[in-house]
Amino acid sequence: MVCFGPVTLQNVVGVWVVDPADPILRTEFGDVTMIIDVDGEVLYMILDPGATLELHAQIVEDGGRLWLEGQPGVRSPITLTPDGKMLLDDGDSRCVLVRVLT
């Protein structure tokens, strides 16, 4: 997947979901919604028919890059693709999200 340019917080604010066009991702990650606010606060929701799991994370800038930090020191780099998708790749797993237009 080809990626482009620097990613800023302003570029990622909004609502994102696991790419519905990729059934393998949906099987691996489930029904995930990620809401990023203007302060970099992240609400990460995993929707299950029986319950919803809510996790909180933070977008941090370090070394000229944006990172999704779920726990202190545990980070995934954030990349945007030319087609507007968000790529989270921590080396062990890779998740592609698409923006929900509201």
Per-residue confidence band for 85, with pLDDT thresholds at 50, 70 and 90 = very high
d(CA 80, CA 50): 32
Q: What residues does each domain of the chain span? A: 9-100
State yes or no: pLDDT of 4 exceeds 70. Answer: no
Q: How much is the average pLDDT of 54-68? A: 91
d(CA 2, CA 49): 35
Q: How much is the average pLDDT of 68-92? A: 86
Residue 86 burial (CB count, 10 A): 22
H or E segment and range at residue 80 = strand 74-80
Q: In this predicted model, which residue has the larger pLDDT, 60 or 24?
A: 60
What average pLDDT does the chain have?
85
pLDDT tens digits, one per residue of 39-49: 999 998 888 77
The yes or no reply on domain 9-100 and CATH 3.40.190.170 is no
pLDDT at 2: 45
